[in-house]
Each structure stands twice: as C-alpha cells, then as structure tokens.
Amino acid sequence: MKELLKKYRRDLHKIPELGFEEYKTKAYILNILKEYNCEIINPYGTAVCAYFKCKNKNNETIAFRGDMDALPITESTGLDFSSSHSGLMHACGHDGHIAMILGLAYEIEKNLNKLPCNVLLIFQPAEEGGGGAQKLCDTGILSKYNVSKIYGYHLWPGVEKYAIASRPHALMAKTTEMDIIIKGKSAHCANADKGIDSLYIGCQFLCDIYKMVETEVPKDEFKLLKFGKAESGTIRNIISAYTHFYGTMRCFNMDIFDFMLKRIKETAKNYEEKYKCNIIVEYNEGYPPVINDPEVFKDAENKLSKEFIFKNIEIPYMQAEDFSFYLQEIPGMFMFLGIGDTYPLHSDKFNFDEDVLELGVKAYKKLLGI
C-alpha cells in the first residue's frame, strides 16, 4: 500500500490543475476506478464519485472526500516529480488527499464482502476558492445515495507527524473577503479645507471597526477582522479622494458574523453623515464555518484513539475550507493529518513525507469498519 500511495501522489503531483479544470486529474482517477466493482458517477464537470454497494442490503452510505485542485504557484521544491505544468503546483496537499481516497478505493475493492455499509468516494474539484463542494451538494448526490455521514482530511503542517487532530463543533472559520472603499474629494494640501480626506477618514474608520470587534463582540467568541492591503492617493501634497482597504472577516458563529457586518455598515453610514463622504462596504459570502458533528467526533475518537495518535484541538483554526458545505447537509467530521515541521501550505517549497498517507488510509478503514 505504501508504494501504491506514493505512486498515486507523485503521478498527481506532476499534473496540477486549477479548480474546475482538473481534466488530466479526472482522467487519472477514472483510469484507476474503472478496474473496480463500483458505480462511477460524474456529478458535474471534472467531479468524480465512486459508489461501492455492500452485500448485506444496508441502505446507509458513508462518504469520504478528497479535493483535486492545485494552485497558481511556480514550484521550487527541486523534486524529481515536480509539476510539469508551468506556473501550477500542488502546494496544499490535495495530491495527497486524492491519493488517500484512491488508496481507500483499493482497500474497499479487496474487502467488498466485509463492507458494513455502502461507500461514496468523492473526488471534488475547486476547493481553493471555487466552492466545488457546494456545487456538488447542489447536485443532490448526497441524498440520492443516502449518505448519512462524511469524513475528510487535510494534510497539516505544525501538527505532530502521524497524528490525527480535530475537535467537536467549530474547527475552521466562516470567512469572507471584505473591501472598504472611501470616496472623498481631492484638493491641494494648502487648501485642505476644500477637500474630503478619504485617507484620514479611512484610518479613523478602521480604528473604530477594530475597536468594535474588541469591545462589542463577546471575548469568548473566536473572531477576526483584519485589513492587509490599502491603496490611496496620487501624490504626497494632494488630499486623497479615494481610499481602498482590502481585508478579511472570520468567525465561527453566523450570528456574530451578521452582527459584525451590521455594525460595520452602521459605522460607515455614520461616517458618511459626519464627513460628507461616500463609503462602500463590499464582501463575498466565502465559505461557511466547518462545524464537526459532536456525535460523529465522539465515535471517531473512540475508534481511532487506541490505535492512532489522536489529538483533540483546543482552539479552532481561522483558516477556511469548503468541506463546510457538506457539513451543512449531513453530519460529518473534518480532520487534520499531521505532517510535522514542513514548509507552510501554499509555499512554493511545500512537500511532505508520503508515509503519512498510509496511516491516513488505515484510519479511514477504521472509521469505515473494514
């Protein structure tokens, strides 16, 4: 199994593709699945699912998901199986995720007579910002195949190598990209009273909404509002008529998210009245929070903790994941598979010890009961 998983991962690492464009990846997966006793499903585009039916007439189905897409990053690992697609790289471990699902398919095929329930393996496009999980949920495939729960991994730097880490309830954040645009009026600094200083207004505005998050949101709520990029002005001695802040807002409670958004809009309106400017608050819906089902978590902890290093994470992560869309439909659990001290995700040097993939498949088998 170890060598097979290594082959899968390296083959896939050579052919990274962006979200919804995973054509070679899909072909690679289909070429393997066609040899197995499963129903191959094409829910949409490059998405692939494999349905294995158990022999004991159990109608329950358990799903396992691997994401397929890569990133627009030029690889600099120096590996002999580096990306063959210029400017693209599997820098987030999705090649490993797919390899583990293909490895699980191999194990299911060998144990068809022992399957306690039906299994749906999901090879999902476009996790990196494309929301491929939502599109797959929208096809109705989870209800069509009577999926009762779902599992998924993310290879995770910083978590002990060979450890499986997760937590009940909130694991990863609801996230949205947010833009704040302030439109003022240009004037020479010598005649500043004739202008409306969008840069000054913007700095005050950011201070106020940062303070709002600190003082008005309960301290025990995990939340984040930060702006990492700003554009303003044309020249040093001209009052800026236009300021644009680029940021992100994240939390785990949708009521808190709605409250922060409402207060940002209220603050913008107050500033417009006070400074006679125009403030535009733009944001996208992003991904919902990843909320693990506590009963599924407890069952998984009982099954895995005796045989594997199983860690219960104390504080949820502020990163986002579109696995959250599945968890809005059915109970399930998302987990981090520790790869130890490596380059961070999305680094052009990201790599990991492929031996962890075998452990990932063994844990999947334990959860499935084969």
Examine the pLDDT at 58 and tell me if it is beyond 90.
no
The residues spanned by each domain of the chain are: 2-171+289-368, 174-283
Examine the pLDDT at 56 and tell me if it is beyond 90.
no
Predicted local distance difference test score (pLDDT) of residue 39: 98
CATH number belonging to domain 174-283: 3.30.70.360
Residues with catalytic annotation?
67, 128
Rounded to whole angstroms, what are the CA distances from 140 to 26, 43, 137? Answer: 21, 9, 6
Predicted local distance difference test score (pLDDT) of residue 365: 98
Fold of the domain spanning 2-171+289-368: Aminopeptidase (3.40.630)
Examine the pLDDT at 61 and tell me if it is beyond 90.
yes
Mean pLDDT of 175-185: 97
Number of neighbours of residue 281 by Cβ within 10 angstroms: 15
Q: What are 260-271's pLDDT values in tens digits?
A: 999 999 999 999
| Percent of all residues in the chain with a pLDDT value above 90, rounded to a whole number | 98
The per-residue pLDDT of the chain, averaged, comes to: 97
Predicted local distance difference test score (pLDDT) of residue 306: 93
Kindly give the pairing relationship between strand 118-124 and strand 309-312.
unpaired
What does the chain come to in residues?
Answer: 370
Rounded Cα–Cα distance for residues 330 and 290 (Å): 12
Mean pLDDT of 77-94: 98
Q: What are 110-141's pLDDT values in tens digits?
A: 999 999 999 999 999 999 989 999 999 999 99
Rounded to whole angstroms, what are the CA distances from 148 to 95, 142, 189, 241, 327? Answer: 26, 8, 65, 55, 11
Q: What is the DSSP string of 121-155?
A: EEEE---SSS-HHHHHHHTTHHHHTTEEEEEEEEE
Predicted local distance difference test score (pLDDT) of residue 352: 98
Examine the pLDDT at 320 and tell me if it is beyond 90.
yes
